[in-house]
Amino acid sequence: MNRTALRLLILANLLMLPCLAAGQDAPKHDAVTPAPRDGNWMQRHESFNRRVKQGQADLLFIGDSITQGWEGAGKKTWDEFYSKRNAVNLGIGGDRTQHVLWRLDHGNIEGISPKLAVLMIGTNNSGNNSSEQISEGVAAIVKKLRDRLPKTKILILAIFPRGADENDARRKVNQGANEQIAKLADGEMVHFLDIGPTFLEDDKTLSKEIMPDLLHLSEKGYRIWAEAIEPKVAELLGENTK
């Protein structure tokens, strides 16, 4: 490299310094960057939009395949606990925080004002994102829900335990995220509940009776879920629990 070229390179770098000094925002990580998916995912997303246009959406469940499973292994329990409450299942298998963010921007909550939204998301991020990034993704979802649905209370559920025991790497990531997600609760419009221990044995291992693949719930697991959150759901819906 000759002297003229070297001087130009140094000058160019010097010109960039004011921008760096001004504290320009660093690129956002993917957990907080809304992103769609394709194929059957888009079809399910659009089915949600059609459903909410029908109205009568008092209770939302927002999440990934664990939430979608209310339509499978959890269907009997869903019918017992939530059908009469005009509940809508907004769960899509494989979703991460960024996919939920995109869905909320593209019709999933348009034109409705539910009493309560139950949110449980983040486990699919745990292979690619840090605990902090996952918590930031959940925080972005909560903020969007508060902005778009100001009258809707939010119940954030801690990300469920996964893997055989406490040594599971992704369970550890989720636990770290849960510690930060808990701080999002304000006790008024945003609440946090960790029901993870109800799925675990005394030694904190997961039984395949509860999660056959150590991630997704069995029929028994869905009943545990419903019963564990029922007092809080009834409270936040303003139901008479006497």
Asked if residue 50 is part of any domain, the answer here is: yes
Taking the C-alpha atoms of residue 53 and residue 198, their distance in angstroms, rounded to an integer, is 36
| Residue-range definition of the domain harbouring residue 148 | 31-236
pLDDT at residue number 168: 98
Among 45, 99, 191, 216, which one carries the catalytic annotation?
216
Q: Is 65 a catalytic residue?
A: yes
Q: In this predicted structure, what is the pLDDT of residue 93?
A: 98
The one catalytic residue in 79, 83, 186, 213 is 213
Decide if 201 is inside a domain: yes
**CATH at 124:** 3.40.50.1110
Instruction: Considering the candidates 29, 30, 58, 65, report the single residue annotated as catalytic.
Output: 65
Question: 228 lies in a domain?
Answer: yes
Catalytic status, residue 130: no
In 3D space, the residue among 140, 235, 223, 164 whose CA is nearest the CA of residue 193 turns out to be 235
Give the closest residue to 167 by CA, choosing from 118, 214, 234. 214
Model pLDDT, residue 10 = 40
User: Does any domain span residue 3?
Assistant: no
Q: According to the model, what pLDDT value does residue 28 have?
A: 86
Predicted local distance difference test score (pLDDT) of residue 20: 39
- Is 135 inside any structural domain? yes
> What is the chain's pLDDT, residue by residue, as a tens digit (242 residues)?
455 444 434 434 433 444 434 445 656 899 999 999 998 999 999 999 999 999 999 999 999 999 999 999 999 999 999 999 999 999 999 999 999 999 999 999 999 999 999 999 999 999 999 999 999 999 999 999 999 999 999 999 999 999 999 999 999 999 999 999 999 999 999 999 999 999 999 999 999 999 999 999 999 999 999 999 999 999 999 996 55
Partners of 77 in the beta sheet? none
| 5 domain-assigned | no
For residue 52, what are its two tokens? 């909410």
Number of domains in the chain: 1
- Model pTM score: 0.89
Inter-residue contact 190 to 146 (CB < 8 Å):
yes
CB 195 within 8 Å of CB 229: yes
What residues contact 179, with CB distance under 8 A and at least 6 apart?
131
Is 29 one of the catalytic residues?
no
